[in-house]
Chain A
Amino acid sequence: MNAKVLEVRDLEVTIDTPSGVLTAIDGASFDLREGEILGLVGESGSGKTLTGRAIMRLLPSRKMAIRRGTVCINGEDITQFDESRMRGIRGRTIGMIFQNPSSHLDPVMTVGKQIAESIRFHEGVSAKESLSRAAEFLRQVDIPDPNVRLNSFAHEFSGGMRQRAMIAMALACRPKILIADEPTTALDVTVQAQILRLLLDLRKRRGLSIMLVTHDLGVVAQTCDTIAVMYAGRLVERAPKKELLLGPLHPYTKGLIASQPGGAKPRQQLPSISGQPPSLSSFPDGCRFHPRCEFSKSACQTEIPVLEQVEDSHQTACLRWHDLVRQKVLGAA
């Protein structure tokens, strides 16, 4: 098994509001191994994007803070780093790509210059050298005529090419870890497949570890090795892709998989999880999923389930998973 490049332990992110301190991420723990693709899945507002931001130590608001927990890269806890050391981590050790490539590129700077700037900034090579390396990176992400497209502005690129350019920019400093925050959500399906293939290819060629944040189980099924499911700020289940998709051990995961189009028979209504995800200010006590869970018992309302080791790599945070597996509700069919 490959070495762990990223270890997140008990990560807790809080938001300071006038009505009190809210916990947006409550004790998330996971690892990312070298060359692994980890899918972080969850509904909108479940805290998956925030987890990515917290790892980068770039929380979107001053009111937010990492209250507890550690984020270790190569054994060093980066939550203790000062701002200038953190700058060396950003871009160089962890690269990040975003959902909306058109707005994440500088509109008045050519794409080549933006990539070259990041190379110059982190590696201190000459302007000419960095520009020719930028062209090389554009070639690696399959942009045709890289030496010409280098001089294009972001608005002259198509959506897929912008995402490729952004990947090139993130990879320009040869990071070990790539955090991809919904990288394919803004793209159409064919381009989406190309970008995912590119990510897989990059993993193979340079041993890149990728943390893929998405709400699309289809994307996860195509690319990831391991899947972590988040619900209402907590990690509810974590397992290798196959085990999780074929034998989910948490009712929420099961509901999520069941509500994917394709699973249901034709002309049958697509199943959905009833109710709404809870809002940050009113997380229910106990298991946060219990108001929407069809299997909940009284214990679920009070007792907070911990992430429990089921098999060597499968973890779930459900009080009743034992019963439910026995009743053949959960687990492999």
Chain B
Amino acid sequence: MNKTTSITVARRRFRLRFGGHPRVLYAGLCITIFWLILALGANVISPFNPNTQDISNVLDPPSLKHWFGTDNFGRDVLSRVIHGTRVDLQMGLVGVILPFLLGTVVGSLSGYFGRFIDMVLMRILDVMLSFPWLVLLIAIITVLRPGLGSFYIAITLVGWVSYARLVRAQTLVLKNSDFVHAAVNLGYGHLRILFRHILPNALIPSIVFSMSDVVLVILAGSSISYLGLGVQPPTAEWGLMIAEGQNFIVTAWWITAFPGLSIVFLAFGFSLLADGLGEKLGVRE
């Protein structure tokens, strides 16, 4: 009986299904992939160097040579928008991943262990929630030192709250579920149960929320740059471009309009992605 015969184990093949998903998911994916390609291939795609000044072609309106026109230093707006994609996408993604990680750890510990830990963490969360988050963001960045690094630190300190609440709520439900009891009955320790069995099940609402959170973070990042606290000139970044172009808004609308539209279009893509994912995974916000 105790002789173990070796059985060759087939691997589960990962099948990617292209059909049958919600339509908004496809739309969102297309738009997001479009921006990803722009960001990754910025050097190849953009027709000009985003920082090369051309004093003889200052404030040119959109033309065949400069599709989106040029700004007050004669820089090609299209190239700057394309290069700005890099910075803005990076801000959106890093600015979501960091709070996601912090919030998940806090939320799961709080929900799983409960009692004292829960009380302390949730009171901290309440304090964070009672501040208007944009004001808090600006305050933290100002204290630290304007720049992208400070923005990431600040957004992590401000943004973890939503993830912590989502993960905590899920963990509270899952910790009393049958399969977790079964895991306890197998003698597993707390951390194994929490990270291998509860978290994979608890993360779904957070993942869906993170997609729409990307939009908020990009908007926040652009606003911070607009205020001069985030990305510093001459780096091409949409919020910064809008700030720089606002003096010329009457004579040269293209400097502000195109980065503005880009923000809207990128946000639109992620919103659709979030909706589609939510529908696909059966999460209602």
Contact = CB atoms under 8 A, between A and B. Distances in A.
Contacts, number: 90
A27 B182 CA distance: 27
Interface in A102-138: 103-110, 112, 117-118, 121-122, 128, 131-133, 135-136
A117 B196 contact: yes
A150 B10 CA distance: 8
B119 to A, nearest CB: 16
Contacts of A110: 12
A151 B12 contact: yes
Contact of A106 (B4, B179, B184, B187): B179
A56 interface: yes
Interface string A287-330: 00000000000000000000000000000000000000000000
B7 A92 contact: no
B52 interface: no
A109 B185 contact: no
A161 interface: no
Interface in A19-48: none
A197 interface: no
Interface of A: 56, 58, 86-92, 95-96, 98, 100, 103-110, 112, 117-118, 121-122, 128, 131-133, 135-136, 139, 146-148, 150-151, 166, 169-170, 173, 205-206
B219 to A, nearest CB: 32
Given A87-B189, A89-B187, A131 B9 contact: yes
Contact of B9 (A112, A118, A173): A112
Nearest to B7: A135
A92 B6 contact: no
A235 B1 CA distance: 36
Contacts of B1: 205-206
Nearest 7 A/B pairs, CB to CB: A151-B12, A90-B187, A91-B187, A91-B186, A103-B178, A135-B7, A87-B187
Given A98-B182, A109-B197, A132-B6, 11 more contacts: A58-B181, A58-B185, A88-B187, A91-B186, A103-B177, A103-B179, A121-B186, A131-B9, A133-B4, A136-B4, A151-B11
Nearest to B186: A91
B10 A148 contact: yes
- Which residue of B5, B7, B179, B186 has the most chain A CB atoms within 10 A of its CB atom? B186
A159 to B, nearest CB: 14
Interface string B159-178: 00000000000000000011
A147 B201 contact: no
B3 to A, nearest CB: 10
B20 interface: no
B188 to A, nearest CB: 6
A107 B9 contact: no
B200 interface: yes
B-side interface mostly: loop
Interface of B: 1, 4-12, 177-179, 181-189, 192, 196-197, 200-201
Given A58-B181, A91-B187, A132-B9, A109 B200 contact: yes
Contacts of B179: 103-107
B8 A147 contact: yes
B4 to A, nearest CB: 6
Nearest to B180: A106
Contacts of A135: 7, 9
Contacts of B185: 56, 58, 90-91, 95-96
Contacts of A106: 179, 183, 197, 200-201
Nearest to A90: B187
A148 B13 CA distance: 11
A132 to B, nearest CB: 5
Contacts of A136: 4-5, 7
Nearest to A108: B200
A108 B4 CA distance: 28
Nearest to B178: A103
A121 B9 contact: no
A80 to B, nearest CB: 17
Contacts of A95: 185-186
B177 to A, nearest CB: 7
A304 B92 CA distance: 71
A122 B8 CA distance: 22
A200 to B, nearest CB: 15
B201 A104 contact: no
